[in-house]
Chains A and B, each alone.
Chain A
Amino acid sequence: MHKFVAIVGTNSDNSTNRKLLQFMQKHFADQATIELVEIKGLPMFNKPEDKQIPAQAQAMAKQIDQADGVIISTPEYDHSAPAALMNALEWLSYYVNPFADKPVMITGASYGSLGTSRAQEHLRQILDSPELRARIMPSSEFFLGHSLQAFDDDGNLVDQTKLAKLEDLFADFQTFVDITKQLNHANAANKQEIHDIDWANR
């Protein structure tokens, strides 16, 4: 059974993205182990000269490193991913390389109707950067619009069409993880290149 890390893409106390991941954790419990990870509490990324990342980020890096894949659920702030999520990803690319060749599935929930379409595009661009080099599941999007009305009192997705889509995508992700494991010939080189990035002079 695959082990996944699910990153809540916000530091907000109330988040329908957290709700979505909690639902996935419960709903797919018989298919995969999903651990939720919070990004709240990380300090602002400031390129420390000693190249050390905070203990919280180190623990996250280790969890991701040991996982078969990562699920990130992002809100959308100002047509893009939240600063808090960008901040976490900066720490997780600073002389550490947990995302190198790591399979990633992106989801997103928003109060409005668009369901974070632009933030997801932004997040793909970030994860594809030379500092992260993640393997994002291609041609797959899960948008949960009107997310305040999307869950019942037990935290289950109400919309059966949406649920079916999520189940299909999750099954695809399981397959994608298996395939991606074979696409790892450049993994050592990728990790080295990430490590060699000169952050000091940016």
Chain B
Amino acid sequence: MKLVGIAGSVADKSYNRLLLKYIAREFKDVVDLDVLDINDVPLFNQSDDQTDSPAVQAISNKILAADGVIIATPEHNHTITASLKSLIEWLSFNIHPMSGKPVMIVGASYYDQGSSRAQLNLRQILESPGVDAIVMPGNEFLLANVKTVFDENDNLKDDRTVSFLKETLGKFTKFVKVINKMNEKEDPGWQSEDLESHGKVETTVEGVDMHAADWVEKAAEKTNAAEGDDYVKLDRGLLTVNQLNYFLNSMPIELTYADANNQFIYYNHFLEAKDMLAARTPGQAGNPMADCHPKRAIPHVQQVIHMLRTGQTDMFRLPVPGMGPDKYVMHYYKAMHDAKGEYKGINELVLDIMPIVQYYLKHTGQMLVKDPDADTDAVSGASTNTKPEKTDAVSGASADTEPEKPATAEPEKPDEVSGASANS
């Protein structure tokens, strides 16, 4: 279980940080606790938005990726520290990474009270709508008189305190599971993938007919798109649009961009459709993906897109036979994401890997032989020169058989999937 620990103090010496580090060490077989530093988080100011500062973003991303959060708070002036409150304000202003997150509060203090009021106060703050965390009820862990409770190795001395902490942490791990179960979103399922692209994403060009053969020209005009010698700043480099085209069109791979709205918006157009491994025509660019696939292939395409969109897999591989024994054509469907991990569409790469295999064999003095122990049904054609008798992974483009029902139980193994080429 992945947890992040936040010590509510920016002071060099903090018993609350010490307590979290102790928990991380002592209970490492129970939880994987990453103790974060809040020292670089600026004081919250709503008229100087620093949500995107590295310090705030780093903490937010770690919280988002964690199963739960443990906050250790000191008590200043009957309440939590301004530094902790400031962090919480950033995390409730324009971003809300704590929303629905299970939280356990602990606190250490120099005096007998052990941060009792700060803890109550922190509960109230965490449960406000902007923060929207889910704080574990009860189980208050108040560590008083901190000066005397740690030994020289920064371990808690008192066995009863340790066993209470262990018990509390054990309850929290269960609490985390329950809350995260409660938070699980209903997956709308692969059927929700709209290949007619009725939705829209921030890059969707509205008011241009997606089905039109001159979609590229119309959409370029509408968006005042860069072209020719216009420069484009890239990660990492600077090219003109022409240079970008030289570059992409010299790739020995057929590339296709389908956006998060399932719209086919680009392919590197360096071959005529008849010469391509996966045929595309210039007029298809801009089409909803439904236009590019035969009806019978649609459910399988939906399944693959949904797997990529929901992160069940980052790349889906599919050999597509049917191009003759000298070719082994692979379709790779790679999910694309922005810096925040948001799904941005699919990069489909189509290439014949046989020249690569042949080159390798020739230059290393090897040959392909049949593996007698192989348990795969999908056999390489080229070296054996036998026609594969049966294959699990069949291309949509070439398969003219009626497809079976979509394999809903095992979407990672659709019987038939194809790319934009499958309109034959």
Residues of B within 8 A of A45 (CB): 10, 76, 81-83
Look across to chain B and name the residue whose beta carbon is closest to the beta carbon of A99.
B77
- Beyond A44-B43, A84-B44, is A202–B86 a contact (Cβ under 8 Å)? no
A46 and B11 in contact, given A80-B85, A131-B77 (Cβ under 8 angstroms): yes
| Chain B contacts with A in 1-48, Cβ cutoff 8 A | 9-15, 42-47
B422 on the interface (CB 8 Å rule)?
A: no
| With contact pairs A44-B83, A80-B85 given, residues A132 and B13 touching in the complex (Cβ less than 8 Å) | no
Interface of A (DSSP majority class): loop
Minimum CB–CB distance for A143 against chain B, Å: 17
Of the listed stretches A10-18, A55-63, A150-158, A169-177, chain B binds A10-18
**In the complex, which residues of chain B have a beta carbon less than 8 angstroms from the beta carbon of A131?**
76-77
Which of chain A's residues have a CB closer than 8 A to the CB of B45?
11-12, 40, 84
Q: Which of A1-9, A25-33, A86-94 contacts B (4 or more CB under 8 A)?
A: A86-94
CA distance A82 to B46 in the complex (A): 10
Closest CB in chain A relative to B94 CB, distance in Å: 13
B254 in the interface, Cβ–Cβ < 8 Å? no
Q: Is the CB of A202 within 8 A of B15?
A: yes
Look across to chain B and name the residue whose beta carbon is closest to the beta carbon of A92. Answer: B77
Whether the Cβ atoms of A78 and B131 lie closer than 8 Å is: yes
B92 within 8 A of A: yes
Q: Are B10 and A44 in contact (CB under 8 A)?
A: yes
- List of A residues within 8 angstroms of B366 by Cβ: none
B147 and A201: CB pair below 8 A? yes
Kindly specify which of A64-72, A118-126, A159-167, A184-192 makes contact with the partner chain: A118-126
Are A93 and B77 touching (Cβ within 8 A)?
Answer: yes
Contact A90 B125, beta carbon cutoff 8 Å? no
Instruction: With CB as the reference atom, state the residue of chain A lying closest to B127.
Output: A79
Q: Check B46–A122 contact: CB distance below 8 A.
A: no
Query: Could you tell me the distance in whole angstroms from the C-beta of A133 to the nearest C-beta in chain B?
Result: 10
Residue B193 interfacial (CB < 8 Å): no
Residues of B within 8 A of A38 (CB): none
Size bracket, chain B contacts: 35 or more
Q: Which partner residue on chain A sits nearest B91 by CB separation?
A: A78
- Please name all residues of chain B whose beta carbon is closer than 8 Å to the beta carbon of A80 when the two chains form the complex: 79, 85, 121, 124-125, 128
**Cβ-based interface call for A128 (8 A):** yes
Cβ contact within 8 Å between B117 and A82: no
Most buried by A among B76, B89, B109: B76
Choice from A12, A122, A125 contacting B47 with Cβ under 8 Å: A12
Partner-B contacts on A (CB < 8 A): 10-14, 40, 42-47, 49, 77-80, 82-84, 86-87, 89-90, 93, 118, 122, 125-126, 128-129, 131-132, 198, 200-202
Could you name 29 residue pairs across A and B whose Cβ atoms are closer than 8 Å?
A10-B46, A12-B45, A12-B47, A42-B43, A43-B43, A44-B10, A77-B85, A77-B130, A78-B89, A83-B43, A83-B44, A83-B85, A83-B88, A84-B44, A84-B45, A84-B82, A86-B77, A86-B81, A86-B82, A86-B85, A90-B81, A93-B77, A122-B121, A125-B117, A126-B78, A131-B77, A201-B15, A201-B147, A202-B110
Other A-B contacts than A44-B42, A77-B92, 9 sampled, CB-CB below 8 A, are A44-B82, A80-B85, A80-B121, A83-B44, A86-B85, A89-B77, A125-B117, A131-B76, A202-B110
* Across the A-B interface, the 6 shortest Cβ-Cβ residue pairs: A87-B82, A83-B86, A129-B78, A83-B85, A79-B128, A13-B47
Residues of B within 8 A of A (CB): 9-15, 42-47, 74-83, 85-86, 88-89, 92, 109-110, 117, 121, 124-125, 127-128, 130-131, 146-147
